[in-house]
């Protein structure tokens, strides 16, 4: 039978209640239907293999792949008319076969296309490796993201978000949703997008920093997973104009070490969720998941400079320094993670809490993961007088921060927090060289589509 797409616009999906015939079975469940029983697969034509004696159709659905054995002339003709990526409904009989993927295949199939024959993808999606460069991946994201390796990378992102929320939920953090349209670009001033807001100028929020602090005053412990925006004018492998920030902030801390302990719990939760919910993706990508130590080793910034043989007056760590520190943490502590605390106050934003015994340094830290910066966190100022002094010192106009400073005037606890960039985390976990490889539809200096 030649499938006639025009006849199958509706109805196409039998569901359990009141529908004739067997309902849909997912690829991974094919064997469980039972040998010889009727079954319906629905999915994409992942691959066709036409051999002399027999042909195979591999159907892909959200659960994986299933093999269909095609022998009959009508079905062979139908197979010829459904190019790779066409969506199909395949009705047949289950045949248990230890040699087939998943231990079962579908035989005696009747194929129906659910749409028109698909245009050939820019790369063959059934090949184990993605056979094209980044421009092809990004220009044709709607189809190239279907490649198993790209689906796997996102499965890890998705599980990571779930693990982050779950770990913080257990610690009684409240999820918040903060404004992405803000009236003042005061957090850093640079690299901010402007928006025409009903005739006024608004800015896209570069982080939920000020709002999550204000909401510590309300809920004590808060987190947000959401987009942040940076008008990053440089074309690098690690910067995006929009990325997903995993933000947390908590009150009644002793200092930044309490913040680091929560960060440790969040990262451990992310790793656990990837292990539990994305194990196939981990296998597909051949990832070695890190062990998150109970206590993440910590070195002071000044000690870190000395460890890598840098000038003690250096204001920051270079990528080479970070790599060296990562190697040191692995050798010395057997840890993929290292926290560097005490970064110079001069390089940190106005709300940063100084180190009490030496105000050149700050109560803040960077967390390095395998020698790359994963996240920045620390303790914030919480006393109104400290804010007044910090704003004067940094030349910041207090009047534009009135709504934020309100929180401090009305009583705030000692607090701190951190932010993890989802895409960077996934890139480092998967070994992707460019964050764009692990981002759905990335945005950058040159790219606003698709």
Per CB under 8 A, contacts with its own copies among 103-122 are 114-116, 118-119, 121
* 320 upstream amide cis, omega within 30 of 0: no
User: 387: exposed, middle or buried (C-beta count within 10 Å: 0-12, 13-18, 19+)?
Assistant: buried
Q: Interface with its own copies includes 157 (CB under 8 A)?
A: yes
**In this complex, which beta carbon is closest to its own copies, that of residue 53 or of residue 399?**
399
Q: Is 274 in the site for its own copies (CB under 8 A)?
A: no
Among 189, 227, 315, 334, binds its own copies (CB under 8 A): 227
Pairing relationship of beta strands 64-70 and 104-113 according to DSSP bridges: parallel
Name residues contacting its own copies, limited to 354-373 (CB under 8 A). Answer: 356, 363
Report in angstroms how near the CB of residue 382 gets to its own copies at its nearest.
6
Query: Site mask, its own copies, residues 235-254, x = CB under 8 A?
Result: ------xx-x------xxxx
Smaller CB distance to its own copies: residue 122 or 310? 122
Question: Which of 67, 178, 207, 335 touches its own copies (CB under 8 A)?
Answer: 178
* 293 in contact with its own copies (CB under 8 A): no
| Virtual torsion, Cα 329, 330, 336, 337, nearest 10 deg | -10
Residue 141 in the binding site for its own copies (CB under 8 A): yes
- Smallest gap, in angstroms, from Cβ of residue 13 to its own copies? 4
71 or 410: whose CB is closer to its own copies?
410
Stretch that binds its own copies, among 48-56, 79-87, 313-321, 368-376 (CB under 8 A): 79-87
Contact between 218 and its own copies by CB under 8 A: the answer reads yes
End-to-end CA distance of the chain, in Å?
37
Query: Which residue, 22 or 323, is less far from its own copies as judged by CB?
Result: 22
Residues 385-414 that bind its own copies (CB under 8 A): 385-386, 402-404, 406-414
Comparison of 151 and 323: residue with beta carbon closer to its own copies: 151
- Residue 435 as a binder of its own copies (CB under 8 A): the answer is no
The reply to whether 211 sits near its own copies by the rule CB under 8 A is yes
Q: How far is the CB of 211 from its own copies (least distance, A)?
A: 6
Which lies closer to its own copies via its Cβ, residue 349 or residue 354? 354
Minimum CB distance to its own copies, residue 33 (Å): 17
Convert the chain into a string of H (helix), E (strand) and C (coil): CCCCHHHCCCCCCCCCCCCCCCCECCHHHHHHHCCCCEEEEEEEEEEEEECCCCEEEEEEECCEEEEEEECCHHHHHHHHCCCCCCEEEEEEEEEECCCCHHHEEEEEEEEEECCCCCCCCCCCCCCCCCCCCHHHHHHCHHHHCCCHHHHHHHHHHHHHHHHHHHHHHHCCCEECCCCCEECCCCCCCCCCCEEEECCEEEEECCCCHHHHHHHHHHHCEEEEEEEEECCCCCCCCCCCCEEEEEEEEEECCCCHHHHHHHHHHHHHHHHHHHHHHCHHHHHHHCCCCCCCCCCCCEEEHHHHHHHCCCCCCCCCCCHHHHHHHHHHHHHHHCCCEEEEECCEHHHCCCCECEECCEEEEECEEEEEECCEEEEEEEEECCCHHHHHHHHHHHCCCHHHHHHHHHHHHCCCCCEEEEEEEHHHHHHHHHCCCCHHHHCCCCCECCECCC
Out of 180, 300, 333, 348, which residue is the one contacting its own copies (CB under 8 A)?
Answer: 180
Alpha-carbon span 361 to 245, nearest angstrom: 26
> By CB under 8 A, which span of 31-39, 101-109, 127-135, 154-162 interacts with its own copies?
154-162
The nearer residue to its own copies, 125 or 368, going by C-beta atoms, is 125
Q: How far is the CB of 175 from its own copies (least distance, A)?
A: 5
State both tokens at 220.
Answer: 């004590």
- Residue whose CB is less far from its own copies, 108 or 386: 386
Specify the residue, 165 or 238, whose C-beta has the smaller distance to its own copies: 165
Taking contact as CB under 8 A, which single stretch among the options 159-167, 296-304, 342-350, 368-376 is the one that binds its own copies? 159-167
> Which distant-in-sequence residues (6+ apart) come within 8 Å of 391 by Cβ?
350, 397, 398, 401
- Say if strands 242-251 and 181-182 run parallel, antiparallel, or are unpaired: unpaired
Task: Name the phi and psi angles at 412, rounded to 5.
Answer: -125, 150
Nearer to its own copies, 31 or 41 (CB): 41
Q: Is 219 in the site for its own copies (CB under 8 A)?
A: yes
Report if residue 188 touches its own copies, rule: CB under 8 A. no
Stretch in the footprint of its own copies (CB under 8 A) among 43-51, 325-333, 337-345, 430-438: 43-51
The answer to whether 382 contacts its own copies (rule: CB under 8 A) is yes
Q: Closer to its own copies at the Cβ: 65 or 204?
A: 204
* Identity of the residue, 197 or 392, whose beta carbon is nearer to its own copies in the bound complex: 197
Q: How far is the CB of 109 from its own copies (least distance, A)?
A: 17
């Amino acid at each position: 039978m030649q499938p006639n797409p025009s006849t199958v616009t509706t109805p196409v999906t039998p569901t359990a209640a009141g529908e004739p015939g067997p309902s849909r079975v997912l690829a991974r469940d094919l064997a469980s239907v039972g040998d010889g029983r009727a079954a319906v697969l629905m999915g994409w034509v992942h691959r066709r293999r036409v051999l002399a004696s027999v042909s195979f159709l591999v159907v892909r659905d959200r659960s994986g792949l299933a093999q269909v054995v095609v022998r009959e002339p009508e079905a062979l003709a139908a197979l010829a008319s459904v190019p790779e990526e066409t969506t199909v409904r395949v009705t047949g009989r289950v045949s248990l076969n230890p040699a087939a993927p998943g231990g079962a295949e579908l035989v005696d199939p009747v194929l129906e296309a659910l749409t028109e024959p698909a245009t050939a993808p820019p790369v063959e999606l059934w090949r184990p490796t993605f056979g094209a460069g980044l421009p092809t991946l990004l220009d044709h994201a709607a189809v190239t993201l279907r490649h198993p390796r790209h689906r796997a990378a996102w499965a890890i992102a998705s599980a990571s978000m779930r693990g982050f929320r779950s770990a913080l939920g257990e610690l009684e953090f409240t999820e918040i949703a903060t404004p992405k349209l803000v009236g003042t670009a005061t957090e850093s001033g640079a690299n901010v997008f402007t928006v025409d807001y009903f005739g006024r100028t608004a800015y896209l929020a570069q982080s939920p920093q000020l709002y999550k602090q204000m909401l510590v005053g309300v809920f004590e412990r808060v987190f947000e997973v959401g987009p942040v925006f940076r008008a990053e004018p440089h074309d690098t492998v690690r910067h995006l104009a929009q990325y997903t920030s995993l933000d947390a902030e908590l009150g009644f801390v002793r200092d930044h070490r309490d913040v680091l302990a929560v960060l440790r719990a969040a990262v451990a939760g992310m790793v656990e969720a990837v292990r539990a919910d994305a194990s196939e993706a981990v296998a597909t990508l051949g990832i070695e998941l890190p062990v998150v130590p109970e206590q993440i080793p910590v070195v002071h910034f000044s000690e870190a400079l000395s460890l890598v043989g840098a000038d003690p007056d250096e204001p920051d760590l270079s990528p080479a320094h970070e790599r060296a520190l990562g190697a040191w943490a692995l050798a010395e502590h057997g840890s993929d993670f290292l926290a560097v605390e005490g970064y110079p106050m001069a390089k940190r934003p106005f709300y940063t809490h100084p180190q009490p015994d030496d105000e050149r340094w700050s109560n803040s830290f960077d967390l390095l993961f395998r020698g790359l910066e994963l996240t920045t966190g620390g303790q914030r100022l919480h006393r109104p007088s400290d804010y007044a002094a910090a704003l004067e010192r940094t030349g910041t106009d207090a009047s534009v921060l009135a709504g934020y400073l309100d929180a401090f005037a009305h009583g705030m606890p000692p607090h701190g927090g951190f932010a993890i960039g989802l895409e960077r985390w996934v890139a480092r976990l998967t070994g992707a060289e460019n964050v764009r490889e692990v981002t759905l539809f990335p945005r950058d200096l040159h790219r606003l589509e698709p």
